[in-house]
Structure 1
Amino acid sequence: MKIAIAGAGAMGGRFGTMLATTDNQVMFIDSWADHVQAINDRGLQVHVGNAVTPHWIPAALPQDVHGSFDLIILFTKAMGIAPMLESLRSIITRTTHVMVLANGIGNIEQVEKFVPGRQIIAGVTVWSSELDGPGEITLTGAGNVTLQPLAGQSDDFFQAVLTAFHQAGLNPIASDDVLAAIWKKAALNCVLNTYTALLDCNVGEFGRLPNHETLIDGVLNEFAVVAHHEHIDFDLDAARQLILAQFAPGGNSAHYPSMYQDLAKGRPTEIDFLNGFIAAKGAASNIPTPVNRLLTQLIHGKEVLSKQSVRIPA
């Protein structure tokens, strides 16, 4: 099948290079001109440990993409989903499937404004990666991807997607309740992305703080109440254990989450689709969410400050 990775940053780069090892045709689409140019000039430079390997996958700006694709995998930031799909309207046909794997809650509703539900595959992944600069990413840890087609599990196209992802080593899991998986991953992001960004540390360093469990529970307890009110099957203890598992050596402990990376490079974050989403839902339903509300405002404050002094992690 023809696969377009819309948003070829850290995670898009990782999925694209892994899928390109199969018989499927892969193309990167990204709005960052320098990134696109670097990928086309010298391949996507992929760092794993001390090794660097170029991956020669064609890349293009959205306005320069023509033809059609069987599958478009969205890896833009949550706030970039609508602009990206708007720019790709001309290549989305009645047979084009769109997969959304972006962090945050509410992404499916954004995609439904552009394609009908029968063409949408919703998912969430715990793979990790870091964008080092134009045309360069660093891979860390291992992971999987949980997927569900809104049209139903028996769909032939979805089965082909599962096969391709399995062949690529992406460890796909077919789900009957992807919303539960999305909210579980969002809970992890609301904790690890936000705290590492605010405390200027990686995942392992946060896990070594003596009060890390208190900080985790402050976010998760509010998250669980809002999830229950939204009729989401959210297992608080399972989410907590998933977060704690990230601190193990050799896993994702050395990872700097995307929110940290965004602030370090002076970019806006996805906070309004994470802690901000929980705070907004809580306010609308008279559910107190003081921790998530405060964290949201602190990140917005850092967004302003980060534009004044762009910092790159050592």
Structure 2
Amino acid sequence: MKYGIIGAGAMGYRYGVMLQENTGVEVDFIDTWEPNVEKVREQGGVSVARDHQNRRIIPINIYYPEEYTGHPDVWIIFKKQMQLADELIRDNNAGLFHDDQYVFSAMNGMGHFEKIAEYFPTDHIICGTAMIATRLDGPANVDFMGAEGTEEMHVARYINEQPDEITQAMMTDFTKANLNPIFVDDYMGMCMSKVVFNAVTNTLCTMFEMQMGQFIEYDGVREMSKQLFDEAYDACERAGIYLIATRQEQIDSVITVSQEYKYHYPSMYQDFSKGRPTEVDYINGYIAKIGREHDYVCRTHEFVVHEVHMAEMMRKYHPNVTDVTNQRSESVKVI
């Protein structure tokens, strides 16, 4: 199959490059960030490292929406939640979307599938979550975090049915790409399992500007995690949403995942460190919204949403937040 990546950022590059290099399928990248597109064209591809090692240039095809004339079988979308609506409008106006195409997304937070459903039939939407750490260090400069083979992701159809032919073919390609997909039959429970995980690690690491390994050094991490997870699970259960992981499994995963990616800054802090808005409203804020809609107040999640927004406000008084992508450059070779 042929794939089109909408959003050549950290995760867009991760999925596109792994599909192209490990599976041999055709992949095109669509992006609207001019420095990114022009840097790819200038250097002949995207600069890729894994855990800061073995950086090399991987040739890719990248386009602005208005100049693209290809016809992928599946679009893969990785945009920030705040940018998605405008991106979809621009891509649709450029004539990128066709009735026979499928779309897959494993973005952080919630709310994106409703926006995608404005442009694609619901039975052509494939949902995903990814426990995959990646860092964009600058235009056309990406670092895949974690050892090869440790990638973990889940897939479900938006209409909660078993895989059809296209979904199965995509799963086969993802498996060959070493993305390690697991199919589940409940997209909402799958997605909310990742949201409530991010509501702990992403949010708290951002508030205190910590790597994940530093986060779990604190003796109270399990207790803090339990408080946030219990609220989230209580709200979801009132809404009839049942997560694919148990409460205890989520608490344990905070430790194990943070150990695996101990030097990683979560994506929310990567945005925060660059002065960009965070996705906290689509993570902790989404959990709080579910609670409010079902007569349950998620007091801790409501509070930490305010805390993150306060930290965003305070950047104007403390502008020298550490940009976690400001790392030493490494030699680059073309492969």
Pairwise same-fold verdict (TM > 0.5): yes
Structure-2 residue corresponding to 1:25 = 26
Pick which of 224-233 and 285-294 moved more.
285-294
Structure 1 CA distance for aligned equivalents of residues 209 and 322 of structure 2: 10
Structure-2 residue corresponding to 1:87 = 90
Distance 1:148 1:37, change over 3 A: same
One-letter amino acid matched to 2:224? L
Identity of aligned residues (%): 29
Matches within 5 A, 1:115-134: 115-134=120-139
* Secondary structure of the structure 2 residue equivalent to 1:91: coil
Structure 2: segments with no counterpart, 5+ residues: 327-335
Does the Cα contact within 8 Å between 1:3 and 1:26 map onto a contact in 2? yes
TM-score by length of 2: 0.88
Q: How many residues are paired up?
A: 312
Per-residue deviation, 1:288: 2.0
Instruction: State the Cα deviation string for residues 56-111 of structure 1 (Å, max 9, x = none).
Output: 11112233322322111111012222222222211111111111210112322221
Structure-2 residue corresponding to 1:75 = 78
Does the Cα contact within 8 Å between 1:62 and 1:87 map onto a contact in 2? yes
Structure-2 residue corresponding to 1:47 = 49
Structure 2 CA distance for aligned equivalents of residues 135 and 154 of structure 1: 34
TM-score by length of 1: 0.94
Instruction: State the Cα deviation string for residues 194-251 of structure 1 (Å, max 9, x = none).
Output: 0110111110100001221222122111101111012111222222222221132xx1
- Out of 255, 272, 275, the residue aligned to residue 244 of structure 1 is 255
Structure 1: segments with no counterpart, 5+ residues: none
Matches within 5 A, 1:150-169: 150=158, 152-169=161-178
Structure number with the bigger relative contact order (C-alpha 8 A, sep ≥ 6) is: 2
Does the Cα contact within 8 Å between 2:158 and 2:187 map onto a contact in 1? no
Instruction: State the Cα deviation string for residues 133-167 of structure 1 (Å, max 9, x = none).
Output: 11111111222221122353241111110111111
Runs (4 or more) in structure 1 with deviation over 6 Å come to: none
Structure-1 residue corresponding to 2:333 = none
Per-residue deviation, 1:307: 5.9
- Out of 114, 117, 120, the residue aligned to residue 112 of structure 1 is 117
Structure-2 residue corresponding to 1:59 = 62
Distance 1:307 1:14, change over 3 A: farther
Instruction: State the Cα deviation string for residues 11-47 of structure 1 (Å, max 9, x = none).
Output: 1111111011123111111221101111222221112
Distance 1:119 1:193, change over 3 A: same
Pick which of 234-243 and 185-194 moved more.
234-243
Structure-2 residue corresponding to 1:143 = 151
- Out of 285, 289, 294, the residue aligned to residue 280 of structure 1 is 289
Pick which of 10-19 and 82-91 moved more.
82-91
Pick which of 278-287 and 13-22 moved more.
278-287
One-letter amino acid matched to 2:99? R
